[in-house]
Structure 1
């Protein structure tokens, strides 16, 4: 389904919405179209026509509650590790706990890494020291507002680029 980038009144990216929801916000005058779809597509009703939006902006500012930590989700973890196995560098399909949960490891950013199925099965519930492995990357908590937009930065519409930029590391 077609996605539309939603900006706060201050042009801060908030999230992506399905096209239907975006059009409803525009028609209710809760949002305005910042960029129309590059293809020039138009939605028609019996009484009006509207260009298909690519980016919309809320007319009123919405306060976003401050989060001290980014929530740990599978997609966020895969994005953090660039879909690469932390052990061998191949394409990752699973999540692995560096210190296994069966040995007291927690399900937190600092203990989770992306892993390929082969490495995950080979490691099983052992510690890295027991099998002589090392991590290619040190797991940590991602920082920055752009983590609310997982999948948007690389997979989104090219027109979103001026609004969705990762901060310099």
Structure 2
């Protein structure tokens, strides 16, 4: 891998308490380490050389100071609705990548654009339901919609397949 590609690889940032906070690029992580704002917890990728120095390439860094912030929330988006519903139609149960969003209570009947009113639906089911309630269309939801918990496993779990060394920090939160 070229050094440019290596500098774009993801790095897990931990708070002083070892709480997973964010994922940044290797370049940003190195800048935080070199400025004294963070320290390397796991060097998972070896070293990178400049003309005058050799630097460890971090996989996980820990900030040197406490960052207080409100509890994160998962942003409401189509991608997150599909992820929450495991890319499965909530009416017929078919698993696929090309799904639409359906309002359980249609907007024209006063339904809101919220976590609790949006589900993943395949096109045929979405057309069949149309602007009706599921019961009116003789359809049943597989499970009620909900706002996902902003746990570290949910927020950063997609990285675990490539970054096994992150597991001990993510799964505890």
TM-score by length of 1: 0.84
Matched, 1:13 2:17: no
Q: Which residue of 1 aligns with 2:159?
A: 155
1:4 counterpart residue number: 11
CA contact (8 A) 2:20 2:170 kept: yes
Matched positions, count: 162
Query: Offset of 1:61 from its aligned partner?
Result: 0.7
Q: Which runs of 5+ in 2 are unaligned?
A: 1-7
1:22 matched to 2:22: no
Post-superposition CA distance 1:54-83 (Å, at most 9, x none): 11110101001246x643222332222122
Structure scoring higher RCO (CA < 8 A, sep ≥ 6) equals 1
Secondary structure at 2:59 match in 1? strand
Partner of 2:5 in structure 1? none
Q: Distance in 2 between matches of 1:166 and 1:118?
A: 41
> C-alpha root-mean-square deviation of aligned residues, in Å?
2.1
User: What is the distance in 1 between the residues matched to 2:147 and 2:39?
Assistant: 35
Q: Once the two structures are superposed, what CA deviation does each residue of 1:18-37 show, in whole Å capped at 9, x if it has no partner?
A: 22111111111111111112
State the match for 1:52 in structure 2: 57
**TM-score normalised by L of structure 2:** 0.83
Corresponding residue for residue 4 of structure 2:
none
**1:134 aligns to what?**
140
Asked if 1:62 is matched to 2:52, the reply is no
Contact kept, 8 Å, 2:116 with 2:146, in 1: the verdict is: yes
